[in-house]
Structure 1
């Protein structure tokens, strides 16, 4: 079942980041369906998190979508190479986001392999936020995409329900600039999956 917008309007981005582990993300690009289980996320909180792009109310062409109501996509280019896909949460003007860092591929694996120019399936296909977006055909054109729409969305599959001990918690990756906030335990991953960027 597709997650409704009300799901994304919850006010604790850390809770959502953890809860998204085990949910299914799907994309339809050029008529091609790809899907996978979300295995790794990171939470970013607008008002007091030095790692967040919207910290201290930073409002730019890039970050403006973060201030919209939850349930839209924030996609940005990292190092001029990788598109990173984030889920905007909370109410308007809160600027909270969950970065999807990795998924375990389910449907459309041949399509993913072609997009990634790979010959065979291994954990690097969709592990790491840039690899995931490329495999799923996601890029800057999906900035602001409605997550209750038909291009990219997240579903809950009750058969994928996880126990608390199956989800590991750590500090986030690659945010040494964030001073004391770099150590916040806001990264979550499915510890039974090989499709995780770093354990």
Structure 2
């Protein structure tokens, strides 16, 4: 089964428990994905590609699934997403939180303000900084360069919780869509 062929809402749940790995000049960092958030493209008011909006930033969302989509939020934090829809159906999944596995010392150097290990990666901007993701990663193909995904923890369907997405008050009715998924009782899930 090709992971990237799955429908976005299915993939967002399937990614939970998977191991996200980044190799860069500092070394290897990795973590289990414990929280995701799906964005369903042109029909989803919360998606950057709502109404088929094409910009230099969103262009990667129109390419094939399995590409990295990174962007700035609040002008200072990078968010890491995986493109998930078919070509010209610009959907993506935001990786919201990770449970660190490898490279924890590297993560601590990058996130000096984190007081606990949980605070290293319990939010999209935090995990991107801890993992060393940047805007230059946008467009890379998963598992072909320095960003990989592998099997990790086995997550049963009854361990997956869903609820509304966070931080999208502008999105009218899309505010209430239950497109955020997380592993029940995992301490690394964002607040």
TM-score range normalised by the length of the shorter chain: over 0.9
- RMSD of the TM alignment (CA)? 1.4
Mean Cα deviation higher: 97-106 or 148-157: 148-157
1:39-58 maps to which residues of 2 (within 5 A)?
A: 39-58=34-53
Decide which of 150, 154, 166 is 2:159's aligned counterpart.
166
**CA deviation digits over 1:69-112, x for unaligned, max 9?**
00110000001110000000121101010000000000110000
Alignment check: 8 A CA contact 1:24 1:37 kept = yes
Contact 1:21–1:41 under 8 Å retained in 2: yes
Counterpart Cα distance in 2 of 1:25 and 1:196: 15
CA offsets 1:88-140 (integer angstroms, 9 cap, x no match): 01211010100000000001100000011157643111010000000000010
Structure 1: tracts of 5 or more residues without a match: none
Structure 1 runs (4+) greater than 3 angstroms displaced? 118-121
1:182-193 map, 5 Å: 182-193=175-186
The correspondence for 1:153, drawn from 148, 154, 157, is 148
Q: Which runs of 5+ in 2 are unaligned?
A: none
The number of aligned residues is: 191
> Who is 1:77 aligned against?
72
State TM-score, norm by structure 1.
Answer: 0.92
Q: Distance in 1 between matches of 2:117 and 2:148?
A: 24
* CA separation of 1:128 and 1:119: change in aligned 2, threshold 3 A: closer
Q: Give distance in 1, aligned partners of 2:4 and 2:156.
A: 22
